[in-house]
Structure 1
Amino acid sequence: MTHLIRMERTFMSLHPSISLSEMEPNATFSNNNNNSNCTIENFKREFFPIVYLIIFAWGVLGNGLSIYVFLQPYKKSTSVNIFMLNLAISDLLFISTLPFRADYYLRGSNWIFGDLACRIMSYSLYVNMYSSIYFLTVLSVVRFLATVHPFRLLHIISIRSAWILCGIIWILIMASSVMLLDRATEQNGSITLCLELNLYKLTKLQTMNYIALVVGFLLPFFILSICYLLIIRVLLKVELPELGLRVSHRKTLITIVLALIIFFLCFLPYHTLRTLHLVTWKVGICRDRLHKALVITLALAAANSCFNPVLYYFAGENFKDRLRSALKKGHSQKAKIKCGFPVSVWLKKETRV
């Protein structure tokens, strides 16, 4: 037993930085094993900062404007807009962490913002990812039910019920991700590592991945696919003479199709490669292509916050009208300021005389 403990200590001293970064290995261990072909660390340093800053700029603009539009007073508010508002808030909260992530990789995986901020980074990624998945799923289901059973749903999904359901989603996702808050910073010489998981937590990480894969991705994806097939069936069977029904069916189809596109583009590649990587990962073996592909899929998963504003614009209830109203309001306020400024200056001059 003493011999095993000594071996473990020796191993840890030789490989202090063996870890999993956002469920992918830090390439530093490969250099210790003289594997010069592993270039994942350089790739992350070049790729992540550029992509994260692009997502940040576009995401702040799109989601910030969307939240502003949703919060504008309007004659009619719907449960659909409540779900979209919560989705936009989730995206904006996550996007605000991206400059810190970009800085971390620009410094060569060196964290300078303290232990608490490090814990929040990984937590925010997974809270955003799975809250986005569930908000998109609930949004699609509500849209589908509103098309098939419009009068019955009217009594079920009120504004109050929508807020309660959003609260339940927030609580469940945040509570189930709370174990990610124990991922503190690690010292590797003069470098402070963040976004890393220790090698000896690999078994726990694999278990977490399987639960997240089934409950967090496959189940919502299955529900979304069923909604898509059922709405296609409804559209093929029913003739829609009324304009209002046509608009409702069209928005339902757009919502589900856009949600499926986001699932296929952002969430499916990441969950597939993450699972494959965790199953096949071994110490000292550098699978450069798989690691780089995983980095790209992680960036795509983060980019879901850039695609959601497109959904709001094309499928939100009265979103275009709200946007026009907000822009007109902003324009009229600017015009008043411009017109009022010369008048106030003139009045001041007249009063002096």
Structure 2
Amino acid sequence: MSYNSTCIQPSTISSVALPIIYTFLCIVGLFGNSLSQWVFLTKIGKKTSTHIYLAHLVTANLLVCGAMPFMGIYFLKGFQWEYQSAQCRVVNFLGTLSMHVSMFVSLLILSWIAISRYATLMKKDSMQETTSCYEKIFYGHLLKKFRQPTFARKLCVYIWGLVLGIIIPVTIYYSVVEATEGEEKLCYNQRMEVGAMTSQTAGLIGSTFIAFSFLVVVTSYYSFVSHLRKIRTCTSITEKDVTYSSVKRHLLVIQILLIVCFLPYTIFKPIFYVIHKREDCQQLNYLIETKNVLTCLASARSSTDPIIFLLLDKTFKKTLYDLFTKSNSPHIQSYS
């Protein structure tokens, strides 16, 4: 497909709104996630598997927030920079790399958190007389690993290695090969926004990956609900209602995050790659604007995660409350 540099033109949304939004999200996200990481690393002594998952999730969030200034500058100045300029190459390479690496890492970790929370529920219930042999093996041995801190650390390291090993070569190939094939004059152009064959294929694979992560969370949530209904028909769980409600809330929050932030991006990306091939500049501009807004929405989750941590982890909430109120210093020290 031929690329026409004059076909797409940045609108007010791209050149004004998105830079402002990315700047705001960057400031909020860096503050909230830096504070969260400090709490996880220095104020919580006995770390559970959930704390380890959340600490790596915060690292991914900080990477997203670090990419936001590059994204904001690109939308603010991209239509003024030359395509082959150093600032265009640096902003796009670092912004694209950081954004996609952290996005996929955070999705995997959110999936493992969902599995870990589900395993918390099954810890005791898998040993009940009403539980089948298959359930005892699956819940008692396989899911139990996701609750082990050692396993959680190794799993997170593998996640980073896998994602970096896949995305870095694709990004380098795009920057060195695909990005140099065109004759565009401006940094903000159709090739940069749409991508060539390799980057489009990688984008479709990424969308499939996001859909898989969403499926894992949804499956965990509805398996939990199904199991809860089952044991409620067999025995009284009055004493466990608080634990069950907590796990259910955790899984529901993660599911809502994926639905609001990632599902629109996942659904639209394949549609974008199919429809953009039509020779209609006005339609192409609308598609690109939509893609950029949905990408911004997906990255916004990283800035709001510290609020989610308050809902997911009681230790984090209590520690943060004590730090701000300074009303219970001995209790704070007990975590370290």
* TM bin (shorter chain): 0.7 to 0.9
Normalising by structure 2, we get a TM-score of: 0.78
Correspondence 1:248 to 2:225: no
Structure 1 gaps of 5+ residues are: 1-7, 19-27, 31-37, 333-353
Alignment-mate amino acid for residue 29 of structure 1? T
The residue aligned with 1:341 is none
Structure 1 residue 114: deviation in Å?
6.6
The residue aligned with 2:312 is 315
The residue aligned with 1:119 is 93
Structure 1 residue 181: deviation in Å?
2.8
The residue aligned with 2:130 is none
Instruction: Please give the secondary structure, in 2, of the residue aligned with 1:76.
Output: coil
Alignment-mate amino acid for residue 180 of structure 1? T
Structure 1 residue 317: deviation in Å?
4.8
The residue aligned with 1:224 is 217
Counterparts of 1:256-267 in structure 2, within 5 Å, are 256-267=251-262
The residue aligned with 1:282 is 277
Alignment-mate amino acid for residue 74 of structure 1? I
Alignment-mate amino acid for residue 299 of structure 1? C
The residue aligned with 1:297 is 294
Question: Which has more radius of gyration?
Answer: 1
Structure 1 residue 115: deviation in Å?
3.8
The 1:98/1:305 distance shift into structure 2, 3 A limit, reads same
Any idea what the Cα deviations from partners look like across 1:280-308, whole Å, max 9, x if unmatched? 11264221433332222111011010232
Instruction: Please give the secondary structure, in 2, of the residue aligned with 1:303.
Output: helix
Structure 1 residue 173: deviation in Å?
1.1
Structure 1 residue 328: deviation in Å?
5.3
8 Å CA contact retained: 2:74, 2:91: no
1:56 and 1:117 mapped to 2: Cα distance? 16
2:35 and 2:189 mapped to 1: Cα distance? 32
8 Å CA contact retained: 2:19, 2:76: yes
The residue aligned with 2:171 is 180
Alignment-mate amino acid for residue 120 of structure 2? A
2:229 and 2:301 mapped to 1: Cα distance? 31
1:221 and 1:118 mapped to 2: Cα distance? 28
The 1:71/1:196 distance shift into structure 2, 3 A limit, reads farther
1:294 and 1:155 mapped to 2: Cα distance? 38
The residue aligned with 2:102 is 128
Alignment-mate amino acid for residue 100 of structure 2? Y
Structure 1 residue 139: deviation in Å?
0.2
1:311 and 1:246 mapped to 2: Cα distance? 22
The residue aligned with 2:121 is 147
Counterparts of 1:75-94 in structure 2, within 5 Å, are 75-94=45-64
Choose from 182, 185, 201 the match for 1:207: 201
1:155 and 1:210 mapped to 2: Cα distance? 31
1:195 and 1:116 mapped to 2: Cα distance? 18
Pairwise CA RMSD: 2.9
Count residues with an aligned counterpart: 297
Structure 1 residue 136: deviation in Å?
0.5
Normalising by structure 1, we get a TM-score of: 0.75
Correspondence 1:234 to 2:231: no
Structure 1 residue 324: deviation in Å?
2.7
8 Å CA contact retained: 1:262, 1:307: no
Q: Percent identity?
A: 22
1:261 and 1:142 mapped to 2: Cα distance? 17
2:45 and 2:144 mapped to 1: Cα distance? 17
8 Å CA contact retained: 1:72, 1:326: no
The 1:75/1:236 distance shift into structure 2, 3 A limit, reads same
The 1:75/1:281 distance shift into structure 2, 3 A limit, reads closer
Any idea what the Cα deviations from partners look like across 1:307-338, whole Å, max 9, x if unmatched? 32222111125111221343356997xxxxxx
Any idea what the Cα deviations from partners look like across 1:65-122, whole Å, max 9, x if unmatched? 1111111243532000110110011101220121222122222433764744542210
